[in-house]
Structure 1
Amino acid sequence: MSKERPWLDHYPDGIPAEIDVNSYRSVAAVLDEAFKRFRDRPAFSNFGRTLTYGQIDEMSAAFAGYLSGELKLVKGDRIAIMLPNVLQYPIALFGALRLGLTIVNTNPMYTVRELKHQLEDSGAKAIVVLDNFAATLQQSLSGTHVEHVITTGIGDLIGFPKGAIINFVLKHVKKVVPAFSLPKAVRFGDALSRGKSHPLPTVDVTHDDVAFLQYTGGTTGVAKGAMLTHRNMVANMLQADAWIGASTTVGEEIIITALPLYHIFSLTANGLVFTRLGGLNYLITNPRDMPGFVKELSKVKFTALTGVNTLFNGLLNTPGFDKLDFSKLHLSLGGGMAVQRAVAERWKKVTGVTLSEAYGLTETSPAVCINPLTLIEYNGSIGLPIPSTDVAIWSEEGTPLPIGEVGELCVHGPQVMKGYWNRPDETAKVLDENGWLRTGDIARMDENGYVYIVDRKKDMILVSGFNVYPNEIEDVVMQHPGVAEVAAVGVADEHSGEVVKIFVVRKDPALTEEVLKAFCRENFTGYKRPKYIEFRDSLPKTNVGKILRRELRNEEKAKAA
């Protein structure tokens, strides 16, 4: 193999160097094939209700009928979907994709400010929203282009009486549905009923059409919409499928979908890849309720599970998880943030399955690198570049660095976004004229093509001119048996510019600062040792459980000021 792509020599048997992105014209074409091929197989399950591929086909066609026949939405119009993992999500998603609409995935936890920005920026004409978040929508609508609102309750598709009971309890007992007034809104069930009388129009959706506006980068200021085309999404489905295909059984997989489907990792890996494989997506609506999550897992012999490090860590620390039946589990895939060695090793011990780390970005639909599923144990790497993907490590000046050197990870492939919606300035910062994407992640590649993330550019701590990477600090501190979670940040220091501070959630309530400092002295050279340790009951996290170092940094800056 050429020196340019050393990873190809280390691909497991049967994995191709390239995929044929032209084998499907659009995501809709992939869905049509799955609906026909797996008609009677279970597709999505939630709260005890399971819908087959045939039912999802009919319901998504009815939803598309409503959007085109009654709301007169046409190819290229934007529709926002503001739902957690409930059965309504795939129906709305697949219905919109079949019409060539552009989906604006919307985090239900958004504040009024964040939601208003996304609706204004995307120009969405319609939105599907869960009742629990409709009050936020009501306060966000003025000044946006939204003309049509479709509301739904968590229990609406679960069937009677269970669904009605769920809706009643959420509204009147748990009081998690604030009062709202959206007089022109239509209920999801009514939209499906009305849509049945409208035939599904024939829409020619092609590779170049934008399938998703996937918002990202709110951490650096205003969130931007990454334009992910049908080509990007089809490519990434085929790339992921080429990687995991040999270890999966078509029509037999049951994947636990706990990460929200509005997040790009879960959307592609679970919602789309496993649909193409005829798998069952077992939807977890509230994975933050860990005891409830473990109870759900006890009801099903699952074969695959995707998550972020905090999710795997949370499960491992929940009573009863270690007693589950893992006999069918063969795929555990971690992404979204670094998988920590201590978590991966414990996962292997408890489940018997290697926790494989993958790496991706919203801007790459998302997968870039995945570890071989033949991996015996955790290796600290994000894996090898997947088929049809080129990866390079660049210097600050944009020149490729030799093997082993640390620089910015850059990616080229059919899964790389078209650009940011209406933001040519921001697009130019990350995408060059040859289609190479700068990820903002600091990495190195070894001689076998394995890539190791050192850290995020902006999270790096500079102590007396030495680079300290929070991932390394967190990884080691997590190995202390008394630590449940940790985050490392740089705080200002008059002698060394910055020093390391760690925020720790204890597993052992008796753990002291002295004991932890002694552990760090054993494991770190002087400049890397945390100067400050703060114990907390919890750490700030994103909606998918990624720890927000930025929030901790901002708190420290405010204190210093």
Structure 2
Amino acid sequence: MDLIGNRDINSLVDWQVQLQPSEVFIVWENGESVTWKEFAEKTHLYASYFKKLGIKKGTKVVFQYRTSVDLLYMIFGLYKLGAVAVMSNTANTKEDLSYIVEYTNSRYLVMEGGEEDEAFINHVLHQHPVERILINQKIKLNSNKVSNMKEGISLNNGKDVLPRLNLSPDDPATVIFTSGTTAKPKGVIYTHGNHLFSGEIMADILSMDRNDTFMHHFPFFHMNGLGQLFGVLTAGCQLLLFERFRSSVFTDRVEKFHPTITHLNSTHIKMILNHVNEENYRNSSFKTIGFALQMADEHYDRFEKIFGRVLIELYGLTESITIPLVNHPHLKRKRQCLGLPAFGYEVKVVDKNGRENNPFEYGEIILKCYSKHGIMLGYYNKPEETKETIKDGWLYTGDVGYYDEDWYFYMVDRRKDIIKRAGENISAREIEAILESHPSVKEAGVIGIFDEIREEVPKAFIVRNDPNIQEKHIREYCEQKLAYFKVPEYIEFMDKLPKTAVGKIEKKLLRNYGEKRSVNN
């Protein structure tokens, strides 16, 4: 038995409702608030409605729905029934959505139902034997399989007594998708126990308690979005919820709502620094800001000069459920470092044969947790891929890294982002960091492209701060900072780089674009 015991998600929500029914749980970006009791009542209303549609324990429901309070009501309404929320990226095309519906064998789909969704809905109706598509707006669709939830909820008084299900921590709750590289994305199964364990770790690492206000702007189809949410549920603090991150109004939001904790990534931080007036802004309410993805020391220093010494570097991936490595400020603090294993985790760096490396030797980062809830249950309907990723209880992350003499861990790059040039392994992240240290470079993304002689060579895509900076200036700068074989062979300037929904550079799109350009050139 571990700290999760025999609990499920519903028991956590019930406990907070019992403790503080009239306290505010959620504050939406427009200032509207929801108490814990109101949240429980709304969740019950949706659960009752879903049950009447035939949704029950084990039913998979796909959501392609922007962040909102209503989305939380729906997801937690499903959890009450023991159903499974399948989270689709809101940027997905209709073909992407169709793949997710087919891959997970889902029979229910939830969308907002605006005019832009009509093509998606018609596509799914024609391609898949769905039982019901649920929308929240009135659009004209000639199908008895499309239902308006608002109308359905208004007709359903929600007073049905829903029997408390005997759910196990091992029961599936959510499917979250990994980013695809060349293959289609894989669905990672999160159990009730996974979510509860994630909440415990997140609340502990970020020192969350009932007096905090957590500023949340990550999408719920991302592991960070749900991980932060369950940290809030565990701590019983207030959730300050925004549909999305917006750097241009970040400080305005901070001054208006006074959050104490948030989570960012390095891209967010660089975008904030491009907008904030550091001479006029000295009004931060933050005590802790977790962040992921390493960044240049210059950005680190500028950010903490403005917001205080609040940054905590975190490392995690969809398959690890939560944060297995943390660079905690209360211990010895090292820059550009993932830190030490979080409570309950063991981390190693191994060679290609699975043997543990010595300090400073590059290898693959692997991890395991004392609790079975600390890593994913597996990839949905992909047993072979699951076996390749989880071996003897160890999760193989696909990240290349090393550890130092103090057992602090460092990430060099994603294994798929290592550029192999004439027998040399080159980190794309290292080149990106050097490029972004140039005052005229706003942002950079580096990939490897095919070379007939050297196998691969680095190509850099750059967004400039100064339109007058030229390729030769960038090359000269890199030659001063990098070994000759790491200097980008090709440099291309762009107006902006393709990004994922959480602000990461979309390397897959850069690779596709880079390959086409190299062929044409």
**Structure 1 length-normalised TM:** 0.86
Contact 1:237 1:272 in 2 (8 A): yes
1:229 equivalent in structure 2: 191
Alignment partner of 1:204 out of 166, 175, 191: 166
TM-superposed CA distance for 1:187, in Å, is 3.2
Aligned to 2:123: 139
Give the one of 324, 339, 348 matched to 1:383: 339
| Change in CA separation of 1:528 and 1:376 when aligned onto 2, cut-off 3 Å | same
Give 3-state SS (helix, strand or coil) of 1:219's partner: coil
> Does the 8 Å contact 1:28/1:97 carry over to 2?
yes
In the alignment, does 2:519 pair up with 1:557?
no
Contact 1:24 1:30 in 2 (8 A): no
Give the Cα–Cα distance (whole angstroms) in 2 for the partners of residues 420 and 373 of structure 1. 34
- Name the structure 1 match of 2:215: 256
Structure 1 stretches lacking a partner, 5+ long: 1-18, 154-176
Query: Secondary structure at 2:90's aligned position in 1?
Result: coil
Q: Is the 8 A contact 2:363 2:400 kept in 1?
A: yes
Deviation at 1:184, TM superposition (A): 4.1
Q: What displacement does 1:342 show?
A: 3.6
Do structure 1's residue 327 and structure 2's residue 309 form an aligned pair?
A: no
Task: Find out whether 1:507 has 2:465 as its counterpart.
Answer: yes
* Per-residue Cα deviation, 1:36-72 (whole angstroms, up to 9, x for no partner): 223222222222211111111110011111112x112
**2:347 counterpart letter in structure 1:** V
| Deviation (angstroms), 1:323 | 4.6
Which residue in 2 is equivalent to 1:28? 10
Partners of 2:129 and 2:330 lie apart in 1 by 49
The 2-side partners of 1:183 and 1:282 are apart by: 37
Q: Is the 8 A contact 2:46 2:153 kept in 1?
A: yes
Counterpart amino acid of residue 113 in structure 1: E
In the TM superposition, what whole-angstrom CA distance separates every residue of 1:1-58 from its partner, at most 9, and x where no partner exists?
A: xxxxxxxxxxxxxxxxxx9333451122212112222322222222221111111111
Residue 27 of structure 2 is aligned to residue 45 of structure 1: yes
Aligned residue number for residue 170 of structure 1: none
Structure 2: which amino acid aligns with 1:551?
L
For 1:322 and 1:146, how far apart are their aligned partners in 2? 56
CA-based RMSD: 2.4
Q: Distance in 1 between matches of 2:407 and 2:338?
A: 11
Whether 1:54 aligns to 2:37 is: yes
| Aligned-partner residue type, residue 85 of structure 1 | T
Deviation at residue 268 of structure 1 after TM alignment:
0.9
- C-alpha distance in 2, partners of 1:56/1:138? 33
- Alpha carbons 2:413, 2:429 under 8 Å: kept: yes
Which 10-residue stretch deviates more, 375-384 or 412-421? 375-384
Contact 2:315–2:338 (CA<8 Å) still a contact in 1?
yes
Q: Secondary structure at the match of 1:220?
A: coil
Matches within 5 A, 1:253-292: 253-269=212-228, 271-287=229-245, 289-292=246-249
1:507–1:183 distance in 2 versus 1, CA, 3 Å: farther
Q: CA deviation at 1:325?
A: 5.7
Whole-Å separation in 1 of the counterparts to 2:163 and 2:376? 28
* Residue type of the alignment partner of 1:52: T
Q: Show structure 2 runs of 5+ residues with no match.
A: none
The corresponding residue for 1:14 is none
Of the three residues 368, 379, 384, the one matched with 1:420 is: 379
**Mean Cα displacement is larger for which, 531-540 or 291-300?**
291-300
Preserved contact between residue 282 and residue 306 of structure 2 (Cα < 8 Å) = no
Q: Which whole-Å CA distance do the structure 1 matches of 2:225 and 2:23 have between them?
A: 21
Aligned mate of 1:296, from 236, 239, 253: 253
1:21–1:234 contact (8 Å) kept in structure 2: no
Mapped partners of 1:209, 1:339: distance in 2: 38
For residues 131 and 297 of structure 1, what CA distance do their matches in structure 2 show?
32
By how many angstroms is 1:183 displaced? 5.1
User: Could you report, residue by residue, the CA deviation over 1:260-289 in whole angstroms, capped at 9, with x for unpaired residues?
Assistant: 1221111112x11112212222222143x5
Q: Following superposition of structure 1 onto structure 2, how do residues 415-494 of structure 1 map, counting pairs within 5 Å?
A: 415-432=374-391, 434-494=392-452
CA 1:412 to 1:517, structure 2 compared with 1: closer, same or farther past 3 Å?
A: same
For 2:96, what is the secondary structure of its paired residue?
helix
Residue 406 (structure 1) aligned with residue 388 (structure 2): no
Contact 1:354 1:377 in 2 (8 A): no
Partner of 2:132: 148
* Distance in 2 between residues matched to 1:506 and 1:400, nearest whole Å: 42
Partner of 1:164: none
Structure 2 residue identity aligned to 1:560: S
TM superposition shift of 1:513: 2.2
- Establish whether residue 518 from structure 1 lines up as the match of residue 476 from structure 2: yes
Rounded to whole Å, the distance in 2 between the matches of 1:553 and 1:290 is: 27
Distance in structure 1 (CA, Å) of the matches to 2:493 and 2:461? 6
Amino acid in structure 2 at the alignment position of 1:504 = I
Q: Indicate how the Cα distance of structure 1 residues 507 and 397 shifts in structure 2: closer, same or farther if over 3 A, else same.
A: same
Give 1:207 deviation, angstroms.
1.4
Give 2:272's match in structure 1, choosing from 315, 322, 327.
315
1:386 alignment partner AA: A
In the alignment, residue 225 of structure 2 is paired with which amino acid? S
Instruction: Give the Å deviation of 1:393.
Output: 1.1
Contact residue 408 and residue 439 of structure 1 kept, 8 A:
yes
* 1:395 is aligned to 2:379: no
Give the Cα separation in 2 of the matches to 1:82 and 1:446.
Answer: 43
Q: SS at 2:402's partner residue?
A: strand
**Number of matched residues?**
512
Paired with 2:304 and 2:27, the residues of 1 have a C-alpha distance of: 27
Cα distance in 1 for partners of 2:16, 2:153 equals 21
TM-score in terms of structure 2 length: 0.92
2:446–2:458 Cα contact (<8 Å) kept? yes
1:559 CA displacement: 2.6
Q: Is the 8 A contact 2:286 2:310 kept in 1?
A: no
Name the SS for the 2:85 alignment partner. strand
8 A Cα contact 2:173 2:191, kept in partner = yes
Shift of 1:195: 5.3
One-letter code aligned to 1:51? V
- 1:290-312 CA distance string (max 9 Å, x none): 43555434421111121222122
Shift of 1:180: 6.1
Deviations 1:292-351 (A, max 9, x none): 55543442111112122212211221255875564320111112x444444323211221
Mapped to 2, the partners of 1:353 and 1:182 lie a distance apart of 56
* CA distance in structure 2 between the aligned counterparts of 1:379 and 1:24, rounded to whole angstroms: 39
Distance in structure 1 (CA, Å) of the matches to 2:145 and 2:441: 51
SS at match of 1:315: helix
Deviation per CA, 1:163-192: give whole Å up to 9, x if none.
xxxxxxxxxxxxxx9986665433333344
- Secondary structure of residue in 2 paired with 1:543: coil
Give distance in 2, aligned partners of 1:388 and 1:403. 22
- Specify the alignment match of 1:546 in structure 2: 504
